[in-house]
Structure 1
Amino acid sequence: MKRIGVLTSGGDAPGMNAAIRAVVRKANYHDVEVYGIYHGYEGFIQGKMELLDLGSVGGIIQRGGTKLFSSRCPKFMEEKYRLQGIEKMKEAGIDGLIVIGGDGSYRGAYELTKLGFKCIGVPATIDNDIPGTDFTIGFDTALNTVVNAIDKIRDTATSHENTFIIEVMGRDAGDLALWSGLAAGAESVIIPEEPFDLDDIIARLKRGEARKKKHSIIIVAEGVMPASQLADMIKERTGIDIRITVLGHIQRGGSPTAFDRVLASRLGAYAVELLLEGKTCRAVGIKNQEVYDYDLQEIFTTKHQADISLYTLSKELSI
């Protein structure tokens, strides 16, 4: 294998650029050329690519977002377009592809492998919802962004003696809400993986009032309900006027943390090794601090699990 492709797909995540850099430099170290494919699977179909050399990935390890841009491409699910893209790759002499992204990106990669095109998946999503890996690229950076925002909001909540509900991203996973809630000392954390208990939330607010507590922070994952809906439910039961903050896409931007840069470098380089070994339909991940690979099909058969022990700890510490 002398020429491979790399693309980023789906939602952007801090650390994607670090992964691209690792792919290019690891491949070049082994005298393998790398072509960057622009705009995800849309660019794959159109053959929109260019050769990436050492200089072209210089100075990007600290940048958020993705140098290769990203997009959603619904038509990629039609086989004729996947075959069109594979033909574009063959014309360019590209023998394998590294796909950096989340669940939808992995599904696209799997469909390509079924057509005989070699693919390796690298997990990059702030949601941390990819089965088979302890952490995904971008999660740590997003987590720190969320915690920083909560800390600032708590200053205002304290000054005005308010209760705030903060809605965080995560899709159907509660990791961002769970980890940020524990790190920022939130009074209540609501995640999709655990039953929602309005009575418990209200009881916590009342216990706080009883001991002269003047403010509270409630974190809700977007996969449970909108913050506005939760605020209405609490106000209807208690009469408490609640402030709402929806953090939104600020969580996806920013310079990646050192953890995400190192993780992206390790996973990107390992993905290259797998392709050079002739492997396909594999995903790379990290377990107990060790990089490893597993069958890409596991994303269809395994569900991501949040660490419920952290949820229990959060409740115990926010009494």
Structure 2
Amino acid sequence: MEPDTHEQARGAGAVGGPADLDTLGRVAARVRGSIEKVIEGKPEVARLALVVLLAEGHLLIEDVPGVGKTMLSKTLARSIDCSVRRIQFTPDLLPSDVTGVSIFNQDSREFEFRPGGVFANIVVGDEINRASPKTQSALLECMEERQVTVDGSTYHLEAPFMVIATQNPIEMEGTYALPEAQRDRFMARVSMGYPVEAAEIAMLNSHTGSNPLGDLEPVTDAAEIRDLIEVVNDVYVAEPVQRYTVAITTATRRSPELMLGASPRATLHLVRAAKAAAALAGRDYVIPDDVQALAVQVLAHRMLPTVEASMSGRTPEAALRQIVAGVAMPESRRGS
């Protein structure tokens, strides 16, 4: 992109100015520092969690037990001075435990609404795939529309609103597969993975004497996060970058290895996540590299491989990497 074109892009994006991006960078650094005090050796996981938060998405953390899934979600929640609620998903959890229920008040002779676990800025859903699909589906409306409807009445959820759900691999005993509609509402999925040796030794020093979460103080608040979300919303996405994003998602729908490709919602989530990544990098415009870097985390969990691909051991992640590699990037790396 030539300098004059870049200036036009900045004007089209209408970001509030360098101070806004500077503020976002400072706050993001504080939140990442807070997460890394508790989660050792996982800077990319912390970065993706921030991307999803600033893009107004929801995060799915999937891995085997004991690698810090719940700790990551609780650390991010505690780093922000806002309302936080945790829902422990179990086979006997009811949809009304999630959304809320109307209870008859004997004194007033009227029904009163008792809010469920989703009425918070950050909702930590622990082991979400241990609940029945019926209970999981209670999250569908609130995750997409930021509202809950109970007994014909609609209750709006306060911004920012983010669901951070953890799940064990579906091969684990006592788990249900997440419905496709549920997976599609999560902006990104991340796998914690085992820590490297140095990080695990550091964890032994910091976690065996006391709980590091106990000493964690909020480094920002809900009002500031709302302001930073507005900064991300104003990040400029040039038409070639938009076309590049659509080309990737369209290719997933045509892949012979995938029975279910990316939805239009997935395309939107990928662009929104790329805007947040650009803002975290100090830019008020998205480049194709932002889209490419997030494609696997944002798209792979929504896809279903064909029976043939599954039997041959091909994962959606592997298919997606091949698809992304085969889609031509715009001539200018900045997408102008």
- TM-score, normalising length: structure 2: 0.28
- TM-score, normalising length: structure 1: 0.29
